Structure 1
Amino acid sequence: MPLREILFSLIQYPLPHHALSRLMHRLTRCENRAFKNAFIRQIIKLYKVDMAEALQPDPGAYPSFNAFFTRELKPDARPLCPDPDAVLCPADGAISQIGAIEAGSILQAKGKSYTATELLGGDPARAAAFQNGKFATVYLSPRDYHRLHMPLAGTLREMVHVPGRLFSVNNATARQVPNLFARNERVVAIFDTEAGPMALVLVGAIFVASIETVWQGVVTPPAGTTVRSWDYRDTPIKLERGQEMGRFNMGSTIIVLFGENTVGWESLVPGDKVKMGGKLGRRAPTAVVSP
């Protein structure tokens, strides 16, 4: 298995990540009925997608594969944890890693880590709020619901688009590619919450043709070559706990960051399955901070 993982990761280095993702972008938006219906049926069969949860359960009713992939669920499909102090899971998926940010370092996989500064676009001041805080990394597979939601109510402070590569973000690649999540293209959204600053990092991956947010729409593509940032402090955007904040057009990973002594995680370990709206952790009693 390690040799297979090594080969799988090595073969990704020379691939034209963005060109392949642009091709996937076009294919997933193709509205040819025969093509998109065959594509959708194959994914449902291969990944055992539960269409009974979808607001539109008929696969043929979706105008494109991307419309199916980012499908809306029935209103009662993901009930929010009733505990008012619960930190909600932002997405369906599986825990990749979860724990403490130690001296600015975030665990990627056994023996591999990256820094909060690298993840958030290279600005030490931006990362300072999360020094010695908490992180949770959630991996979304093709079978999962691909809309992303707020763990806590928050006011958007800043959004950052960080260009990068588009390696796969599955567990095999995470174990082999150094600085994977700080190397891939990503969109960072930083909110002020009752538990202090919260960062939601939407990490791109191979074939993830687009990342979008509810306030900006499509952020990438285009990929660009320089870090872009948007400051919202003069034009507040407030999102409620559990409200949709963005989506992946194809699957990927979301990373949640909080500051020191603000939240405590549930007893979750890598590989645990999670659902959007479930209890990821709990706000610390002493963590009430005015935004």
Structure 2
Amino acid sequence: MSITDKIKIALQYAMPKHLLSRLVGRFAAARAGIFTQLFIKWFIRQYKIDMSEAVHEQPGAYKTFNDFFTRHLKPELRPLKTQSGQLAHPVDGVVSQVGSIKDGRIFQAKGHDYSLTELLGGDSDNAKEFTDGEFATIYLAPRDYHRIHMPCDGVLKKMIYVPGNLFSVNPLTARNVPNLFARNERVVALFDTDVGPMAMVLVGATIVASIGTVWSGTVTPPTGAQVQSWSYPASGLNAVQLKKGEEMGHFKLGSTVILAFAKDAVEFDPDLGHRSITRMGEVMASQSA
């Protein structure tokens, strides 16, 4: 590792990440007029964002940076390309890792793995359903679309808020900060689906101003000191039933989504691997025969 990279990692440990993230969050939510517009225009140039994909292409259409960052895309640009028995990519991003859950642990990067039980909030009963199953970790860069969609039809069973740190989740940090995804703040959604149990974990990171879901709105901030859990009925008026391709959540400033499936439930697309580019709606996996 270069000296520059060592300095970057050291700063990750030293900086007041929660304070910085909340200050950025306040600015991102503010209607700051010309300052908001100048920052949005700088962000578009800096990250080479293709605004022709957005429903509202002009920066002036967005009153806050959050409005811009969580912009909707033209629906015809992200059609569902799956057939029956196939799962769709839930986000635009890049695959960090994909593979098997071995001995209750998920591979992070060379030399690093972490506990599935810890990732899901510490309850071993939640993790049992995914013993010897499959996982995929997808990183959303700043330029990406930051709304998260369902890979298949699902009924929400439980949502868990897990307090934690706010390390960056970029590839450099993933290679050098042990236990990264199981130590960062995160929101876990557990679903029953046609392919069995599915976990979707929305992982926070440095300057991630907010994580939200369509059924509960903003989950964080505020942050908490304890794991919190909410259970949902399988049917009835209060049930949360989402179809494949429907939006399930969002990040205000980008991060990572981790998916987990039960043993022998899915087979990931054979071309899916480390650094594969994902586009919401395209084929991610198929239901195992």
Relative to the length of structure 2, the TM-score reads 0.96
Corresponding residue for residue 86 of structure 2: 86
Q: Is the 8 A contact 1:78 1:275 kept in 2?
A: yes
Query: Can you list the C-alpha shifts for 1:154-191, whole angstroms capped at 9, x where unaligned?
Result: 00000000000000000000000000000000000000
**In the TM superposition, what are the counterparts of 1:7-26 in structure 2 within 5 Å?**
7-26=7-26
User: Which residue of 262, 270, 274 corresponds with 2:278?
Assistant: 274
Q: CA RMSD in A?
A: 1.0
Deviation of 1:51 (Å): 0.6
Correspondence 1:252 to 2:255: yes
Query: Structure 2 CA distance, aligned partners of 1:236 and 1:6?
Result: 48
Corresponding residue for residue 263 of structure 1: 266
Correspondence 1:223 to 2:223: yes
Query: Can you list the C-alpha shifts for 1:184-208, whole angstroms capped at 9, x where unaligned?
Result: 0000000000110000000000000
Q: Which moved more, 1:266-275 or 1:92-101?
A: 266-275
Q: Which moved more, 1:20-29 or 1:161-170?
A: 20-29
Query: Can you list the C-alpha shifts for 1:141-163, whole angstroms capped at 9, x where unaligned?
Result: 11000000001100000000000
Unaligned runs of 5+ in 2: none
Q: Which moved more, 1:182-191 or 1:25-34?
A: 25-34
Number of aligned residue pairs: give it.
Answer: 285
Query: Structure 2 CA distance, aligned partners of 1:227 and 1:5?
Result: 33
Q: Which moved more, 1:30-39 or 1:236-245?
A: 30-39
Query: Structure 2 CA distance, aligned partners of 1:8 and 1:120?
Result: 28
**In the TM superposition, what are the counterparts of 1:155-174 in structure 2 within 5 Å?**
155-174=155-174
Deviation of 1:4 (Å): 3.0
Deviation of 1:271 (Å): 1.2
Q: Is the 8 A contact 2:82 2:283 kept in 1?
A: no
Q: Give the AA of the match of 1:182.
A: A
Q: Is the 8 A contact 1:5 1:173 kept in 2?
A: no
Query: Structure 2 CA distance, aligned partners of 1:187 and 1:140?
Result: 16
Query: Structure 1 CA distance, aligned partners of 2:55 and 2:148?
Result: 16
Query: Structure 2 CA distance, aligned partners of 1:3 and 1:281?
Result: 40
Q: Give the AA of the match of 2:287.
A: R
Q: Give the AA of the match of 2:251.
A: F
Q: Is the 8 A contact 2:93 2:144 kept in 1?
A: yes
Determine helix, strand or coil for the equivalent of 1:11.
helix
User: Which residue of 240, 245, 260 corresponds with 2:243?
Assistant: 240
Query: Structure 1 CA distance, aligned partners of 2:93 and 2:26?
Result: 25
Query: Structure 2 CA distance, aligned partners of 1:82 and 1:269?
Result: 19
Query: Structure 1 CA distance, aligned partners of 2:233 and 2:113?
Result: 31
Unaligned runs of 5+ in 1: 286-291
Query: Structure 2 CA distance, aligned partners of 1:71 and 1:195?
Result: 30
Query: Structure 2 CA distance, aligned partners of 1:273 and 1:33?
Result: 35
Relative to the length of structure 1, the TM-score reads 0.96
Query: Structure 2 CA distance, aligned partners of 1:259 and 1:82?
Result: 21
Deviation of 1:7 (Å): 2.4
- Share of identical aligned residues, percent? 51
Query: Structure 2 CA distance, aligned partners of 1:3 and 1:191?
Result: 43
